[in-house]
Amino acid sequence: MDLPELYILRHGETEWNAEHRMQGVLDSPLTAKGRAQAVAMGRMLAAAGVTADSHAVISSPQGRARITADLVAKAFVGQVTVDARLREISVGEWGGLTRAQIEEKWPAARAVDHFLDFYAMAPGGDGFDAMWTRAQDFLRTVTAPTIVVTHGITSRVLRTAAMGYGIERLDELPGGQGVIFRLANGEHTTLGQQGLQP
């Protein structure tokens, strides 16, 4: 897929992240740490030369991503638009539950170590095939350098597709909050406090 430069960000830490609760399509507020992460990511992008004229800012419509996007864009006076295709994967009946609560009600989840297998077995969840299609559809519409503010799983799916990998390679790229992933010229790098890293 031939794409312009992309910076892909996960929303800042939320209250449910701190409590290790599954969010999916549900939402919880950013913590003070999460707001600070968003502000810091905005400063990193501004320091990297991003301006309101150079890059579009597109966010998931979910509150935690939208607030993060607004805080990020404030650093370079960017305008945020929303795209529903950037929403997080649904975890169905697991939304709002901790891993311990899930394993108590669905004992089969205890034996699942890999995060892809774990998300795939969520009752009533999206599953990865639908999400893969949604991510590819979004990427096909990106025609200019863009900052994408989204979610943990959505970020991995977008970056995997943008790199031209198959869905089976979804776990090969790093995750994390408070870091920015840059995709340009077929390369995937991480922008953090020390600059770009492979």
Task: Report the C-alpha dihedral over residues 13, 74, 80, 165, rounded to 10 degrees.
Answer: -50
Contact 76, 43 (CB under 8 A): no
Q: β-pairing, 187-192 with 80-82?
A: unpaired
The residue from 13, 15, 20, 88 that is catalytic is 88
Task: Give yes or no: 104 in active site.
Answer: no
The residue from 11, 55, 151, 188 that is catalytic is 11
Task: Give yes or no: 93 in active site.
Answer: no
d(C-alpha 157, C-alpha 61), whole Å: 17
Residues annotated as catalytic are 11, 88
